[in-house]
Structure 1
Amino acid sequence: MSLCSKINRHTILDSVQGRNFPDMLSTIAHSLVALASASLASAALDLSSSHNVTSLFGEWSTGSGGVGTGLGFANPLTYTFNYPATTGVALSFTNDGYYEEAQYRINANASLPNCAEAVVIFTHGVYDMNANGSLILSPFSGDGRIQVQNPCSAVTNVITTYNQTTMYAAWSIKVDTFKHNYALHLTRFDGASLPPMYLKARPPNMLPTVALSGYGEDSASV
C-alpha cells in the first residue's frame, strides 16, 4: 500500500468541508512527512537483509586465508608470534560476544627497499553489534601484543603491549559467488571499505576468551 493510501480519507474530507484548501494541503503534507519518517526509522533498524546471510560466528580471513587466529598465531603470555606465510588480517567471533584478531602486514619503504617494516598484532576481547549497524571491538586490556621488526631501526625488533578499541561503521555478510564462500565486508569509521574477509573455520580457532595476563606488562626488545 502506498504512503498516500495510508492517510485516513475521512481526515481529508473533514479538512475540505471545515477548513480552507491551504489548510487541507498542510494536513496532507504533515501526514506524508510522518509516514515517511516512520518508514525510514524502520529501515534503519532492520539489519537482517544485509547482515544476516549467515552469522558472524566463525573465523574470517582476508585473501587466501594465510593468516588465522589462535595459538598458531600468537601467545601473549610468552610475547611470541608465529609469522604466517602471507600477510593479511583474521577475525574470529563467538556466539556469546567474544572476538580475536590477528594482523600481519609489511610496510614498504620506497626510498630504502631493504628497510621494509614487518608488523604483527594480536588482540582479543568482547564485541558489540549496535542498532546503527556499527561493530565495536573492545580488547582485554593487557593481553594485546604488537611486534615491529625493521632491520634499519636502532632497535630492530620490539614487542610490546597493544590496547586499541576498534570501531567499524558498518558490516555485512554476503555470498561471494566467485569463491563460493561467505564474505564479511567491513567499513572503517571514516567510511573506507576494507578488503573482504572469507569464512575460514567454524567453529573458530581462538585462545581462551578471558583476560590472560596482567596489566601494564613491560615491553621486550632485541
Structure 2
Amino acid sequence: MNKHKLKVIAAVCSGVLLTGCATMEQSAGLAALGCAGAGALTGALTGSAGIGAAAFAGCGALAAVGIYNYHSSQTRTVQQDQKLYGYAPVSSTEVKIRNATASPEKVRAGDTLKIAMDYSVMAPKGTQDVDVKESLVLKRDGKVLKTLDERIIKRPLGGGSSEVDFKIPAKLPSGTYVIEQKVTAGTSYDVRPAVFVVGS
C-alpha cells in the first residue's frame, strides 16, 4: 500500500478517535487515552511522529475545554416580551433566540470566553412555565468538535437569558471557531451561531 493511501486511512481512523475524544462524556483519564491512541495511530500510519504528536495535542486541548459559572435569569415578563417583539397567540410551545454572543471575539490561550444567549419562551394561554433544553456546541470549519454543555431549564414565559464561561485551553489551535447555541422546547427549536477567534 503506498504512502498516499496510508495517509488517507490515517486521517479517517484518527478522525474517528478524535471525534470520540471530543464529544463523548469521558473521565479525564479515558479522554487522554483516546487522544494518545489517535496520535499514535496517525503517527504509525503516516510514518511521521510529528503528525501524530500534532493530532494528540489538538485532541488533548479539546478534552480540556469545559464550562463553568453558569448563570440563568428571567429578563422580561410576558407583557414586556410581547411589547418588545409583538404578540401573536400560539397553539403550542415556541422558543425564539433573540441574541447570542461569544465575547471577547478575539482570545488567546488562558483567556476566559463568555457565552451569552437571550431568548423568548411562548406557550398557549394558561401555561406558567416550560422545560427548555439549552445546548452549546463547539464547531470549526463546519465540523462538530465538542458539545460544551446541555441542560434542561424550567423557564417562565417571557424572556430568559443564560451565561457561561470557559477558559481557552493552552493547546487549542489558532483559528476561527463557532459556538452553536440552541434552545429546544417540545417540537420547537432555534439555533444561533456566535463566532470567536483564537490567536497565537
**TM class, shorter-length:** under 0.3
TM-score of the aligned structures, taking structure 1 as reference length: 0.22
Q: Which structure has more strand as a fraction of its residues?
A: 2
Q: Which structure has more helix as a fraction of its residues?
A: 2
Q: Which has the higher contact order (CA 8 A, sep 6+)?
A: 2
